[in-house]
Homo-oligomer: A and B are copies of this chain.
């Protein structure tokens, strides 16, 4: 049985950046997550697409070993998102959102999914995230979730309930400040941990990531890239590397969490080098391990000779 289940969105993204554009490319939080995690472990993908979803995309996921038995094809059109980025690639401007079949997504876990030990609740309605968690027959060893400002503003109460039950939350820095109502990021991070998750991972785009876990901070810089083409999916690729690594090693202790944060950063650093999944499609495990070591070199420090 695969080790890791992700519930989220599969979408067709139209993205424009100063460096190019794609139309109706494969996207969605669960897509990036599962593709990224597949470098480390078996992944099951629970999501919905419309009848128009291209077969080649299914083949692509299947080719990476992603289990798409629970990827439901619903009557209607696939979720579509269109956005653009300026030279400040930290913030997308949404041009169009067509939820289509995703509007009626009510994830139902097949019996064989209810004992999977690692669960990632990608960025969907927190009420659905909680419902998925409650469908599990056994409390997973690790439950992580991602969320965004849309739910922080519109579903705060439901978000609070699911946060109280998860182990890890991944969130952008701006969203962390908004969720905590606190401009200082250190205090915001601690405040979110007090809402329930023992581990808070804050994604800071070109500034890397920080993790507050068991009372200690850990910081990973962003990899120094000459070119960032498209940040779409970076956060979900990050989460896929992070949770995928933990599931693969079946460890959730502090050193493993740190390694996982670096693997997440590694995968995200590749994801942004091209549009859609294009860079991940060309990615090899050897490249991942080499960049992991390069991340280590970026911050390696000798003790002071005092």
Q: Which residues of A contact B (CB under 8 A)?
A: 87, 183-187, 189, 204, 206-208, 210, 216-221, 224-228, 249, 255, 258-259, 262-263, 289, 292-293, 295-306
The one of B186, B208, B225, B304 in contact with A226, judged by C-beta atoms closer than 8 angstroms, is B186
Seed contacts A219-B298, A219-B299; 11 additional CB < 8 Å A-B pairs:
A184-B225, A185-B224, A186-B226, A208-B221, A210-B224, A220-B299, A258-B301, A259-B304, A289-B304, A295-B301, A299-B299
Main secondary structure of the interface of A (DSSP, over half): mixed
- Provide a sorted-by-A list of 28 A–B residue pairs whose CB atoms are within 8 angstroms: A184-B225, A184-B227, A184-B228, A185-B206, A185-B224, A186-B225, A186-B226, A187-B226, A189-B224, A204-B207, A208-B219, A210-B221, A210-B224, A216-B297, A218-B298, A219-B221, A220-B299, A249-B305, A258-B300, A258-B301, A259-B302, A259-B304, A259-B305, A289-B304, A289-B306, A292-B304, A296-B301, A296-B303
| Min distance, Cβ A167 to any Cβ of chain B, angstroms | 21
| Min distance, Cβ A285 to any Cβ of chain B, angstroms | 9
| Min distance, Cβ A201 to any Cβ of chain B, angstroms | 14
Do A259 and B301 have beta carbons less than 8 Å apart? yes
* CB-nearest residue of chain B to A220: B299
**With A and B bound together, what is the CA distance between A63 and B125 in angstroms?**
61
Contacts of A258 in B (CB 8 A): 300-302
Do B217 and A301 have beta carbons less than 8 Å apart? no
**With A and B bound together, what is the CA distance between A220 and B297 in angstroms?**
12
The one of B186, B217, B301 in contact with A262, judged by C-beta atoms closer than 8 angstroms, is B301
Do A299 and B224 have beta carbons less than 8 Å apart? no
Do A218 and B299 have beta carbons less than 8 Å apart? yes
Nearest 7 A/B pairs, CB to CB: A219-B221, A299-B299, A207-B207, A186-B224, A217-B224, A219-B298, A87-B183
| Min distance, Cβ A243 to any Cβ of chain B, angstroms | 16
**With A and B bound together, what is the CA distance between A302 and B295 in angstroms?**
11
Do B297 and A299 have beta carbons less than 8 Å apart? no
Contacts of A302 in B (CB 8 A): 255, 258-259
* CB-nearest residue of chain B to A86: B183
Contacts of A305 in B (CB 8 A): 249, 259
* CB-nearest residue of chain B to A296: B301
**With A and B bound together, what is the CA distance between A296 and B206 in angstroms?**
21
Do B298 and A217 have beta carbons less than 8 Å apart? yes
Contacts of A295 in B (CB 8 A): 301
**With A and B bound together, what is the CA distance between A304 and B286 in angstroms?**
13
